[in-house]
Structure 1
Amino acid sequence: MRKTFGTFPELFFMGVGLFWIAESYFTVGSINYFAILVTWLLFVQFFYKNRLAGLIYGIAFGSFSVYMLLSLIADNGEAVSPLYVTNINAVDSVLFAVGIIMSVAMVYKYVTTKVDYDESVLTVTY
């Protein structure tokens, strides 16, 4: 059960990446290669579970989520309509708050991982 909950941060950020890919394709009409790269790297991380990459991804996604949440809080008073502020910013705030929680869980998971192998060697066993 704990192993199942341990994969939620990667799955959450992959879902956000897939949404980012679909949103940019359907609104702009072009392919967002950066979103594809981020989602692919998370997909690879999901299977290989490299400790250093997991820490880097967790810290990067956490700092981005904190930045965006603080940006939403700062822009709250500048919107024209109070109805717009409560609807859109509430959904975005919840998304970024969950992103912070998932990134903390991801960092905690990879910090507490016991290392029994050489991380400089990429091996695949079948």
Structure 2
Amino acid sequence: MKRCILALTALLLSGAALADECDSASTQAELNVCTAGQYQAADKKLNQTWQDAIKRATPEQATLLKKAQQTWVNLRDSDCEFVASGVQGGSIQPMVHNQCLADKTIEREAWLASLLQCEEGDVSCPLPPAH
């Protein structure tokens, strides 16, 4: 439960921060570039957290986590293609796609980060606690 609350808090705070970053954009092209930057920043943070999680995992867990992450990437990409299909061919499509990618990536990073907060004896958490 504690991990869920931490993940939800991170997600809510990051969504507000992302919206503020693009407030000064005045054209669709600028919004598209801004949301692409937001996705890149979220992906960078996810990759850092991923590295921390994979280091903490046992070899067997690392194999499972890699499989889960690849499956998640495929799902994220497919979901975002679907979300952006509603504006297919429009100038807003890159923004919608980028925002979807950023949102899902932030959510995944928060979830992985929550796994790094496991306490001794928490059987709902697969990764061992930090020492």
Relative to the length of structure 1, the TM-score reads 0.34
Relative to the length of structure 2, the TM-score reads 0.33
**Quick one: higher RCO (CA 8 Å, sep 6+), 1 or 2?**
2
